[in-house]
Structure 1
Amino acid sequence: MSLLNKKRIFIILLAFSIVLGGFALRLSWIQWSSAWLPVTAARKTMNEMAVRQREEGIELDSGRGGFTDRNGEALTGFTRWEPTLFPVSKLPDQAHLKKMAELLGTSTGKLSSTWSGLKQPYVWTNGAGAALLKQGAWPKVDGFEMLPVMKRYPGGMRGNQWLGYVAQRPDVVRKLKAGGTPYPLPLSLQIGASGLEKTLDRFLRGTGGTRVYYTVDGKKRPLTEIGTRVQGPANPYYPVQVVTTVDNGIQQKLERLVDRMQIKEGSVVVLDARQGDVIAMVSRPFYDPSRIDLDSGNWSNRAAKAAVPGSIFKIVIAAAALEEKVTRPGEVFHCSGHYGKYGLACWNKAGHGDITLEEGFAKSCNVVFATLGERLSPESIARTAAKLGLNRKIGWSESAFMGGEDLAQIDQEEKGGVFGPKTAIDGGVLAQTALGQRDVLITPLQAANLIVTLLHDGQVASPRLASSIRFKDGSEMAVFPAHTIHAPEGRISARTARLLLGWMREVVTRGTGRSLTAAAWPLAGKSGTAQTLVNGRERNNQWFIGYGPLGSPKYAVAVLVQNRPAGSEHQAIALFRKTMDMLAGQEAKS
């Protein structure tokens, strides 16, 4: 071999050694750095990335924060063991397929066609998981696993629309990304779409989900020596838990009660009489948070929606008349059954005859209150309504909460109203307004809170649905302190508040609520019936609001039954009694 050829061979070997050494050095650097640097999408070892390309994954838990009731009972996050099929290149033999089909409650053909066409893991959700788990045995074949899948909601129809639901909202995710976020947010991320899920969404998003991976080769053949592996965020603080003020036991009993009474439309609100916290809030029709039909509107919370109140608004008129001194306790009116103008009449066609102010309240005499309405100015009525927490949103809220955005807990809350913005107010309008008709609108939440306000000598509370947020380790992330509302208009006097509470007892003992005398607790309240038009037909909103027990009030309750046929049984009074009896039973047990 010539000297020239020897030099050429030497140069080629040297170049090859340099390239090979560089590759080895690069590989060493990747392996060393991956051991020290945080694991992110940009810092994966070549080996790990290669394995990832051969994995079929399924989400076990989204990592979203959850909710509990006031006693720690879970309202979201329910683990179910589910049969799961992973894509494989070859299905089990016919004997195994037949046995699996029997266990999964399906045919061999359907199982085979479903499995063979998979591009990604498939959860078999026909209820077979519970049976397989109960018998403690399931097929041990490649591509099949029993996995603990976290379900957000327990399933079925509920009346807790205040909790809300989640949905994929790519438009919202894009805005969040544009605003900057420390955690990756996939476009498929579940975002709060209504209720507490929506109002507290910024705290609930978490830091990522937990997934299980089933390892296959490039031809989707399972690598049984590797099997499945679980990957999730190792964060001691997330996901968080929101502690609500709701008692889920009472909430569920109230939902069953509404169902048994065949209430078709309406709501029931139960507030803690001590500080106005929401104990239960039922909206009818019910909804399934796992299967939302936006067009039906069932997901909407009727307890926060304003409706015509009818005679429960007479509480406001009585308060205004007493505060403005246009009447006094003991004043005598005369009811002939007709008001004599504006086409108004009393519900008692025969009339009440001579009747005192207190009796007029107890028997809900329209003539008495139409008279008071005409004595009052529009300003005095609106001012008293504001003092009592009406014509405004009263749910718990706080500006720049924790240094961030404004926060209002109760989603969809409407403020209601007293007079229409373009209404030309005359004597007829004042008389109709005094009967809770015309432009008057009140939410069931406001109506229940009105009772709490009177129980607190005129101080308006701001109802909470959530009391705190806790980190995963149990420490507190945020506290929602009880709030009261200080209206610019001031508050009614304690004397007026106590007079009205006493008159509400008269409603039960000798007025429109006499059927409540047989209740488990001594009760007090005010009934109401409002005329409305629905699709051209005359319908009624039936109300009853009140408190109990009489000597030591624990609960304030508002019941609204909507769109009842004119002249039909007053379901609101019956539902109020059954609600209070249920609460009395709960107190006796505790």
Structure 2
Amino acid sequence: MSLLRKKRIFYILMAFTLVTVLFAVRIAWIQWASAYKPLTASGRTMNELAVRQREEGILLDPGRGQFVDRNGQPLTGFTRWRPTLFPVSELPDKEHLNILADRLGTTSDELKTLWSSLKVPQHWDRDGQDKKKEYVEAWAVAATDGFEVLPFMDRYPGGTTGKQWLGYVAQRPDTIMKIGNPRLFPLTMQVGASGLERTLDRFLRGTGGTRAYYSVDGKKRPLPGIGTRAEGASNRYYPVQVRTTVDNGIQERLEGIVEQMDVREGAVVVLDAKQGDIVSMVSRPFFDPVHIDLEEGNWSNRAVKAAAPGSIFKTVIAAAALEEGLTHPGEVFHCSGHYGKYGLSCWKKEGHGHITLEQGFARSCNVVFATLGERLSADSVARGAAKLGLNQKVGWNESHFMGGDDLHQLDQEEKGTVFNPAGVVDGGALAQTALGQRDVTVTPLQAANLVVTLLHDGQVTSPRLVTQIRYRDESVMANFPVHTIRGNQGQISARTARLLREWMRLVVTDGTGRTLAQAKWPLAGKSGTAQTKKGGKAMNHQWFIGYGPVSNPKYAVAVLVQNRPTGSEHQAAVLFRRTMDMLAEQGS
């Protein structure tokens, strides 16, 4: 063999030896480093993952941000103690199994069958009650491997509610896929499906939950001295806390009133008269955020859904006619009970006789307002509606909020309508529109906000449902300042706003709202009844909007009771009074 060939073989062997040594060093470093350095998005090391393979885990808290009311009272996030069964190879003896079964309200045979078939941990929640004392006593008396009493975080307090504005969470893999990182956000994670849960979802997701682990060996035998341990993501900023404008005490009392009165369909909106914030918003029928039936539809928030307004729209017509100079306070009309065309008539068959504009408003004379409707043009009516915040979404919104997407606090909000864009607006259409019929639709939120607009001398505000988001360490993530709506139509004059407020008071003292005269506060408002159909049967939507107390307004309220039989009691006026009486008691 030549010297040159020997050198080549030597160099090849040296290179191979060097590569082998470097590879061995690399493998050793990985094994050492991975044992103590995070390998996963949650920060777990290889050593921890090895132990995790011998542990059975159950989620205690998903780590999602929570909501509170304006006073800091929780709206979501309620700790509930539940007995939890972990898969183990050997179950308790018969004596201990009987004790546990008795405390859990079942038979030992049923408990044994369930427990022995477990593949993953499962909490016991048969009766839906939080019986921490009984469960802890059962654990103390019959302490056994694989049974623990653990604190779970329930998102909602349980039962049905009228807080459709808060919404609910659900597993939505399609949404998770759009987020993009399956390690941080597993497909099984629950995300916001409606309400604030949906509109603020990007802030609420957090960075991981808290799980309880029970250590077992490869044969599912408990490892002595380890037992159960909880582990969660450590982060100074998450989960966040969202402060809403709602007073949960008022919300719950109002839900109780709606239920007592057996209101089947409709909504009630209570706004803070000074800032226009949403104090309470109740939608009926109620829904259960834990058990959602999408087809039933009771999860939908009727407070932001548009419906025919009836005579409350006469407020818009009065404002438009005054602003356009087509009428004036004190103008006298004649009502014989019949309008004479378009098949229109007054609700008072014998007529009101000679009646002034303000009296026509207070007594809701159809002849007066059909006349004003025909004096106005379609543009004038639409302009008057826009100046009062109608025919547009009014809920708080901001473009590119915090550098992201546009943010609309209120989910499902509709903008309503004044005229059908494809329809012909002739004299008949104007007269019917003036009575709040034909194509006109308004949401209860818009109706309540219209009252706030009058109280603010014509300035339209944008109702808030959230004022602030705070990080876990109490520092502020985001503020939601009061917004006003500055449309291209301008606003009504302070003089017109003042006149309409005075006329709303006349409704109570000398008009269709006289039943409110005995309320705890002096009130002002406007009633409305819109003809509609349900299942081919003639029905009415009943409305009442207003404010109180008159001398120092604190709240503006809109009530809609839908699909009432024709000729039935005006339930909306009764509900308005009971709402205001409750608010008066709350403030006293």
Q: TM-score range by the shorter chain?
A: over 0.9
Equivalent in the alignment of 1:176: 179
- Asked if 2 retains the 8 angstrom alpha-carbon contact of 1:208 and 1:232, the reply is yes
List per-residue Cα deviations over 1:335-389 (Å, max 9, x = no partner).
1111111110100001101100010000000000000001110000000100100
Equivalent in the alignment of 1:391: 391
- Mapped partners of 2:303, 2:332: distance in 1: 37
Structure 1 regions of 5+ residues with no counterpart?
A: 1-17
Q: CA deviation at 1:50?
A: 2.0
Equivalent in the alignment of 1:151: 154
Equivalent in the alignment of 1:211: 211
Q: CA deviation at 1:222?
A: 1.3
- Percent identity at matched positions? 67
Equivalent in the alignment of 1:30: 31
What letter is aligned with 2:363? K
Q: CA deviation at 1:224?
A: 2.9
SS state of the match for residue 67, structure 2?
strand
- Mapped partners of 1:560, 1:237: distance in 2: 41
1:162 pairs with 2:169: no
List per-residue Cα deviations over 1:394-433 (Å, max 9, x = no partner).
0000000011110000000000000001111111111000
SS state of the match for residue 131, structure 2?
helix
The CA RMSD measured in Å over matched residues stands at: 1.9
Equivalent in the alignment of 1:331: 331
What letter is aligned with 2:445? L
Equivalent in the alignment of 2:49: 49
Q: CA deviation at 1:228?
A: 1.3
Question: What does 1:15-94 correspond to in 2, within 5 Å?
Answer: 26=27, 30-32=31-33, 34-35=35-36, 37-38=37-38, 40=40, 45-94=45-94
- Mapped partners of 2:176, 2:131: distance in 1: 38
Q: CA deviation at 1:47?
A: 3.2
Q: CA deviation at 1:221?
A: 1.2
Question: What does 1:75-474 correspond to in 2, within 5 Å?
Answer: 75-127=75-127, 130-133=130-133, 136-137=136-137, 138=139, 139-177=142-180, 184-474=184-474
Equivalent in the alignment of 1:10: none
- Mapped partners of 2:547, 2:103: distance in 1: 54
Corresponding pairs, count:
567
Do the aligned partners of residues 28 and 400 (structure 1) sit closer, same or farther apart at CA in structure 2, a change above 3 Å counting?
closer
Do the aligned partners of residues 346 and 229 (structure 1) sit closer, same or farther apart at CA in structure 2, a change above 3 Å counting?
same
SS state of the match for residue 130, structure 1?
coil
- Mapped partners of 2:323, 2:550: distance in 1: 25
Residue range with higher mean Cα deviation, 76-85 or 183-192 = 183-192
Q: CA deviation at 1:25?
A: 8.6
- Asked if 2 retains the 8 angstrom alpha-carbon contact of 1:83 and 1:128, the reply is no
Do the aligned partners of residues 328 and 107 (structure 1) sit closer, same or farther apart at CA in structure 2, a change above 3 Å counting?
same
SS state of the match for residue 551, structure 2?
coil
- Asked if 2 retains the 8 angstrom alpha-carbon contact of 1:158 and 1:255, the reply is yes
Do the aligned partners of residues 155 and 44 (structure 1) sit closer, same or farther apart at CA in structure 2, a change above 3 Å counting?
closer
TM-score computed with the length of structure 1 as normaliser: 0.93
What letter is aligned with 1:525? G
Equivalent in the alignment of 2:501: 501
What letter is aligned with 2:537? R
Equivalent in the alignment of 1:537: 537
What letter is aligned with 2:366? N
What letter is aligned with 2:506? E
Q: CA deviation at 1:49?
A: 2.4
- Asked if 2 retains the 8 angstrom alpha-carbon contact of 1:84 and 1:146, the reply is yes
Q: CA deviation at 1:135?
A: 7.3
List per-residue Cα deviations over 1:537-570 (Å, max 9, x = no partner).
0000000000000000000000000000000000
- Asked if 2 retains the 8 angstrom alpha-carbon contact of 1:103 and 1:128, the reply is no
Equivalent in the alignment of 2:4: none
Residue range with higher mean Cα deviation, 254-263 or 21-30 = 21-30
- Asked if 1 retains the 8 angstrom alpha-carbon contact of 2:78 and 2:155, the reply is yes
Equivalent in the alignment of 2:15: none
Do the aligned partners of residues 20 and 55 (structure 1) sit closer, same or farther apart at CA in structure 2, a change above 3 Å counting?
farther
- Asked if 1 retains the 8 angstrom alpha-carbon contact of 2:38 and 2:44, the reply is no
Q: CA deviation at 1:21?
A: 13
List per-residue Cα deviations over 1:91-146 (Å, max 9, x = no partner).
11111111110000011111011101000001101248733425752231000000
- Mapped partners of 1:168, 1:440: distance in 2: 37
Do the aligned partners of residues 278 and 52 (structure 1) sit closer, same or farther apart at CA in structure 2, a change above 3 Å counting?
same
- Mapped partners of 1:32, 1:317: distance in 2: 76
Do the aligned partners of residues 563 and 473 (structure 1) sit closer, same or farther apart at CA in structure 2, a change above 3 Å counting?
same
1:475 pairs with 2:479: no
- Mapped partners of 1:267, 1:120: distance in 2: 43
Equivalent in the alignment of 1:518: 518
List per-residue Cα deviations over 1:475-520 (Å, max 9, x = no partner).
1000000100001000010000000000000000010000101000
